[in-house]
Chains A and B, each alone.
Chain A
Amino acid sequence: MEFFRIKKDIPFMRHALVFNIISLITFVLAVFFLATRGLHLSVEFTGGTLIEVTYTQAPELEPIRTALAANGYPDAQVQNFGSARDVLIRLPNRGDLDSAKVSERTMTTLHSVGGAPELRRVEFVGPQVGKELASDGAMALLLVIFGIVVYLAMRFEWRFAVSAIIANLHDVVIILGFFAFFQWEFSLPVLAAVLAVLGYSVNESVVVFDRVRETFKKKRNMSTPQVLDHAITSTISRTVITHGSTQMMVLAMLLFGGETLHYFAMALTIGILFGIYSSVLVASPLVMWLGVSREQFIRPKKEKEEAVV
């Protein structure tokens, strides 16, 4: 089997502007939704108590809300989680109550409503912990960016480093934009997924850049856009197959992983889709516009090696 039968290099760079405009629009939209709607942060970041209970029969949610409101939690969020029998309750942190006792009190309230709830999971997070998690996440993001830029600048050229990081950060923003638009819950595993996507997506750019470098060294009479076109075309088969494989794995997680892995897999899916797009069709034009050229790659020593080949 061979999916890709490409006779000539596909002229990607001719449409570079179009790709970048599409990219820019999605990016701006993502920023817009992030600014207007904000992320629906999980209890890990905001602090508060999260209680998951399961019933033998699907309970009515309204009586639970009323009962909780009557017991001092007018701002409790009660919703189904996964199935109609599982209920998730979120309670914000409150200074006046002993936070550690909250779960006991809530369970008493739930029992009073009836329906034999069984406690599955309680998470209580103090406000300070949440703040630290957010700042640690930001630090991790910065460290990833810094590490990748330095590595790429060393192995390739600063132009590659800069364009790769721009292209891939925009993936991250777009994933966050999706989470803001649909108000999906942004939890710690999702944060892990987002950062993993950053690594993954740079990985993608590196494969193309690697080809670009090789083509520059090998082919003397190609213009920069032609080199980029050639590099993208000759790796496109690998790009699609690799992403297909990873997506198969992620799809399995999306289908079989249950609620806990749902948003994790969701973030990865978006990351993979935009990862291909950005690393191939955004990073490459950026490199071109930053003025990459053949001269940056030929060093006398390398020249000799080629002569042997």
Chain B
Amino acid sequence: MNRYPLWKNILIGLVLFFGLIYTLPNFYGEVPAVQVSSGKATLKLDASLKGTIEQALNDARIEHTGLFTDANSIRVRVPNTDVQLRAKDAIEKRLNPDPHDPSYVVALNLLSASPSWLTAIHALPMYLGLDLRGGVHFLLQVDMPGAITKRLDATAADLRTLLRDKNVRHAGITREGNNVVLRFRDAQQRDTARRAIGASTADLQLADRDDAADDLKLVATLSQAAQKNIRDFAIKQNITTLHNRINELGVAEPVIQQQGLDRIVVQLPGVQDVAKAKDILGRTATLEVRLVDDTPGALEGALAGSVPLGTELYNERGGSPILVKNQVVLTGDRLTDAQPGFDGQTHEPAVHLTLDAAGSRIFRDVTRENVGKRMAILLIEKGKGEVVTAPVIRTEIGGGRVQISGRMTTQEASDVALLLRAGSLAAPMEIIEERTIGPSLGAENIAKGFHSTLWGFVAIAIFMSVYYMLFGLVSVVALAANLLLLVALLSLLQATLTLPGIAAMALTLGMAIDANVLINERIREELRNGATPQAAIHAGYERAFDTILDSNITTLIAGIALLVFGSGPVRGFAVVHCLGILTSMFSAILISRMLVNFIYGRRRKVESLSIGQIWKPGN
């Protein structure tokens, strides 16, 4: 009766095996590495760069232990810190020939030292939270009312243009709070206006308001859906922009996440220079539209050294130089959106830009006057500009919807759209929470958390083995398996381990032993009541199960509530706590039972169980 079928043993064995494999990477520690990431928003990392880096290292005779590519960077693992510095210099020299205008960020970094076959099966070490590794943490609040107000101001201007185009006479359009109020002299004009607005946009809800006989008003408010769109767009755009800006810091694994409806968490592990981090977070990249100077001979002259007055020489993306007029036609503030798409007629990939009302008017005037000429779209970062694209103006472009097309792949179109959106923030942000944790404090925290778990575990192990003898030992093995599975699960999920997380691990272990105590006590009780050893084991596990289930579920309820409502340290605690409850149920019930089955289940006749002294009232 105390045997598990083979499949069950194999299954438990497999779980333990995978647990072991996924726990492994945590023991290897970290080795120095050099990280290369793109220094400009317009520059993408590609496969050829990997070759270039490898070549640079080979030329300098620097040995490395592997090149790794991820979404935003390429990392080279090197044996020690001396080689790390040399490798950095070699790569820097190759990739950034001009030190004043670096195209790539080459930074020193750390990488997991676990063998590559582990990395290949996605067995990665746990991600350590800032309190364990040091770094800065910012919580940024996006100014959503600001974004809505900005949009309403733009809407007011749009409506003005619209009504003028449609020849509707009004007595003034103003933004009042969260409404745009349009005044009219007579009801007929108001009706015409309402129809015109209704036909042009679905984002506005219109309502009549008559304050006096001669004061007819139409009140436009943004619909719920439109407001939600604005908010979603603002936060997405801000996160994209932050990504681009932080990239420049060369931080290994920055965390940029949305939190709640209007907040963004930014965590920069290893960064200690808060001032610089803030500087970069607050930096603005701008977009500019200027006309290209195509005067014959001018470009050649400029390349020879004499740039004509009123123009500047830039490089177009892809390499060729281009001469651009100094006068700025439009800036990025006028851009409300940029999306990749297709040309309506030629079906070529294109980028669709949406300008606000003032921007559309300027754009229309400029394009009308410059048909046949080229127009350059520049991205200015850190005071340095680059021409993203310079299309030829074919016709006058009105209505604020601009399309850039021609010789683009779909990928390029979406890149350009991203770039055009990437420059500036959709809504202002402010830092509402900031934490800096020194690296030495982080190391200390790890040591403290580790020691408390270790000594707690040792104390429990000693007590259990003394008190319950062999069954106590089984419980200790189950508890160790629990720890193993918990760490494996955390590594697999790539959950962030924090100090409260370590505390939760310790607490969970302390609580997990409860299940085994319940079982062992039950077995003793059965023996006390005169059951045979085999029957006692069977009944002990069986009867304890209900209790274990009930008590763990109530604890899990508390854990889930913490997970739902907690943030920061509370959430870090809750994640480990909840996972720990699940693994502890598995290990306390199944693993310990399997071990006991191996020890006692095979024997025909068992005289007594090694479960410590059984005292009977009669003796």
A contact set with B: CB distance below 8 Å: 1-2, 5, 7, 44, 52, 99-100, 103-104, 118-126, 128-129, 133, 136-137, 139-141, 143-144, 147-148, 151-152, 155, 187-189, 191-192, 195-196, 198-200, 202-204, 206-207, 210-211, 214, 234-235, 237-238, 241-242, 244-253, 255-258, 260-261, 264-265, 268
Are the CB atoms of A249 and B506 closer together than 8 Å? yes
> Which among B73-81, B229-237, B298-306, B513-521 touches the partner chain?
B513-521
Are the CB atoms of B617 and A7 closer together than 8 Å? yes
With a cutoff of 8 Å between Cβ atoms, the chain B residues found around residue A123 in the complex are: 433-436
With a cutoff of 8 Å between Cβ atoms, the chain A residues found around residue B456 in the complex are: 248-253
A164 smallest CB distance to B (angstroms): 9
Nearest 7 pairs between A and B by C-beta?
A199-B558, A249-B510, A252-B456, A126-B432, A249-B456, A140-B565, A246-B510
Q: In whole angstroms, how far apart are the Cα atoms of A198 and B464 in the complex?
A: 26
Are the CB atoms of A140 and B436 closer together than 8 Å? no
B191 close to chain A: CB less than 8 A: no
Q: In whole angstroms, how far apart are the Cα atoms of A151 and B561 in the complex?
A: 14
Are the CB atoms of A252 and B569 closer together than 8 Å? no
Asked whether A244 and B561 contact (CB < 8 A) given A122-B436, A203-B555, the answer is no
Are the CB atoms of B460 and A136 closer together than 8 Å? no
> Which among B31-39, B163-171, B443-451, B598-606 touches the partner chain?
B443-451
With a cutoff of 8 Å between Cβ atoms, the chain B residues found around residue A245 in the complex are: 460, 463-464, 510, 513-514, 517
Are the CB atoms of B558 and A196 closer together than 8 Å? yes
Are the CB atoms of B448 and A256 closer together than 8 Å? yes
With a cutoff of 8 Å between Cβ atoms, the chain B residues found around residue A155 in the complex are: 550
B contact set with A: CB distance below 8 Å: 131, 139, 141, 274-275, 278, 431-438, 440-441, 444-445, 448-449, 451-457, 459-460, 463-464, 466-467, 499-500, 503-504, 506-507, 509-511, 513-514, 517-518, 521, 524-525, 543, 546-547, 550-562, 564-570, 573-574, 577, 612-615, 617
Are the CB atoms of A119 and B438 closer together than 8 Å? yes
Are the CB atoms of A244 and B506 closer together than 8 Å? no
| Residue among A125, A129, A210 making CB contact with B547, cutoff 8 Å | A210
Asked whether A257 and B503 contact (CB < 8 A) given A104-B275, A210-B550, the answer is yes
With a cutoff of 8 Å between Cβ atoms, the chain B residues found around residue A242 in the complex are: 511, 513-514, 517-518
Are the CB atoms of B573 and A196 closer together than 8 Å? yes
Are the CB atoms of A1 and B574 closer together than 8 Å? no
With a cutoff of 8 Å between Cβ atoms, the chain A residues found around residue B457 in the complex are: 249
Are the CB atoms of B499 and A244 closer together than 8 Å? no
Q: In whole angstroms, how far apart are the Cα atoms of A255 and B556 in the complex?
A: 27
CB contacts between A and B, total, < 8 Å: 243
With a cutoff of 8 Å between Cβ atoms, the chain A residues found around residue B557 in the complex are: 144, 147-148, 151, 199
Are the CB atoms of B566 and A136 closer together than 8 Å? yes
Chain B's interface: helix, strand, loop or mixed, by majority? helix
Q: In whole angstroms, how far apart are the Cα atoms of A265 and B453 in the complex?
A: 12
B567 smallest CB distance to A (angstroms): 7
| B440, B441, B554, B565: residue with the most chain A Cβ atoms closer than 10 Å | B554
Q: In whole angstroms, how far apart are the Cα atoms of A203 and B577 in the complex?
A: 14
Are the CB atoms of A207 and B551 closer together than 8 Å? yes
Closest-by-CB residue of A relative to B431 is A100
Are the CB atoms of A139 and B565 closer together than 8 Å? yes
Q: In whole angstroms, how far apart are the Cα atoms of A147 and B464 in the complex?
A: 33
With a cutoff of 8 Å between Cβ atoms, the chain B residues found around residue A125 in the complex are: 432-433
With a cutoff of 8 Å between Cβ atoms, the chain B residues found around residue A195 in the complex are: 558, 561-562
Are the CB atoms of A188 and B435 closer together than 8 Å? no
Sample of 11 further A-B pairs with CB below 8 A, known A133-B567, A192-B562, A199-B554: A7-B617, A120-B437, A121-B441, A140-B566, A144-B561, A151-B557, A196-B504, A200-B555, A248-B459, A249-B510, A253-B507
With a cutoff of 8 Å between Cβ atoms, the chain A residues found around residue B552 in the complex are: 203
With a cutoff of 8 Å between Cβ atoms, the chain B residues found around residue A121 in the complex are: 435-438, 441
A221 smallest CB distance to B (angstroms): 18
With a cutoff of 8 Å between Cβ atoms, the chain B residues found around residue A204 in the complex are: 551
| Residue among A143, A214, A250 making CB contact with B564, cutoff 8 Å | A143
Are the CB atoms of A238 and B518 closer together than 8 Å? yes
Q: In whole angstroms, how far apart are the Cα atoms of A251 and B396 in the complex?
A: 77
| Residue among B445, B518, B525 making CB contact with A260, cutoff 8 Å | B445
Q: In whole angstroms, how far apart are the Cα atoms of A249 and B511 in the complex?
A: 9
Q: In whole angstroms, how far apart are the Cα atoms of A140 and B556 in the complex?
A: 13
| Residue among A126, A192, A202 making CB contact with B573, cutoff 8 Å | A192
With a cutoff of 8 Å between Cβ atoms, the chain B residues found around residue A248 in the complex are: 456, 459-460, 463, 510
B519 smallest CB distance to A (angstroms): 10
Are the CB atoms of A122 and B517 closer together than 8 Å? no
Q: In whole angstroms, how far apart are the Cα atoms of A126 and B432 in the complex?
A: 5
Closest-by-CB residue of B relative to A164 is B554
Q: In whole angstroms, how far apart are the Cα atoms of A160 and B613 in the complex?
A: 34
18 contacts between A and B (CB under 8 A): A122-B434, A136-B567, A147-B557, A151-B557, A155-B550, A192-B570, A196-B504, A206-B550, A207-B551, A210-B550, A235-B521, A238-B514, A245-B513, A249-B459, A252-B456, A253-B503, A255-B452, A258-B448
A141 smallest CB distance to B (angstroms): 8
With a cutoff of 8 Å between Cβ atoms, the chain B residues found around residue A261 in the complex are: 448-449, 452, 499, 503
With a cutoff of 8 Å between Cβ atoms, the chain B residues found around residue A198 in the complex are: 558
| Residue among A122, A147, A207 making CB contact with B561, cutoff 8 Å | A147
Q: In whole angstroms, how far apart are the Cα atoms of A121 and B451 in the complex?
A: 22
B264 smallest CB distance to A (angstroms): 13
Q: In whole angstroms, how far apart are the Cα atoms of A100 and B511 in the complex?
A: 41
| Residue among B459, B511, B553, B564 making CB contact with A252, cutoff 8 Å | B459
Are the CB atoms of A200 and B511 closer together than 8 Å? yes
Are the CB atoms of B566 and A258 closer together than 8 Å? no
Are the CB atoms of A103 and B436 closer together than 8 Å? yes
Asked whether A258 and B551 contact (CB < 8 A) given A2-B614, A121-B437, A250-B510, the answer is no
B5 smallest CB distance to A (angstroms): 24
| Residue among A44, A119, A137 making CB contact with B565, cutoff 8 Å | A137
B450 smallest CB distance to A (angstroms): 9
Are the CB atoms of B499 and A260 closer together than 8 Å? yes
| Residue among B278, B445, B569 making CB contact with A192, cutoff 8 Å | B569
Closest-by-CB residue of A relative to B555 is A199
B360 smallest CB distance to A (angstroms): 37
With a cutoff of 8 Å between Cβ atoms, the chain B residues found around residue A133 in the complex are: 567
Closest-by-CB residue of A relative to B450 is A256
| Residue among B441, B499, B524, B558 making CB contact with A120, cutoff 8 Å | B441
Q: In whole angstroms, how far apart are the Cα atoms of A152 and B569 in the complex?
A: 29
Q: In whole angstroms, how far apart are the Cα atoms of A241 and B467 in the complex?
A: 10
Are the CB atoms of B561 and A129 closer together than 8 Å? no
Are the CB atoms of B570 and A122 closer together than 8 Å? no
B608 smallest CB distance to A (angstroms): 14
| A104, A152, A242: residue with the most chain B Cβ atoms closer than 10 Å | A242
Asked whether A129 and B558 contact (CB < 8 A) given A100-B278, A136-B567, A189-B500, the answer is no
With a cutoff of 8 Å between Cβ atoms, the chain B residues found around residue A137 in the complex are: 565, 570
With a cutoff of 8 Å between Cβ atoms, the chain B residues found around residue A126 in the complex are: 141, 432-433
Asked whether A188 and B547 contact (CB < 8 A) given A2-B614, A200-B511, the answer is no
Are the CB atoms of A189 and B503 closer together than 8 Å? yes
Closest-by-CB residue of A relative to B563 is A140
Q: In whole angstroms, how far apart are the Cα atoms of A124 and B433 in the complex?
A: 5
Are the CB atoms of A268 and B507 closer together than 8 Å? yes
Q: In whole angstroms, how far apart are the Cα atoms of A169 and B435 in the complex?
A: 33
With a cutoff of 8 Å between Cβ atoms, the chain B residues found around residue A7 in the complex are: 617
Are the CB atoms of B444 and A258 closer together than 8 Å? yes
With a cutoff of 8 Å between Cβ atoms, the chain A residues found around residue B569 in the complex are: 187-189, 192
Are the CB atoms of A129 and B433 closer together than 8 Å? yes
With a cutoff of 8 Å between Cβ atoms, the chain A residues found around residue B566 in the complex are: 136, 140, 192
Q: In whole angstroms, how far apart are the Cα atoms of A5 and B528 in the complex?
A: 11
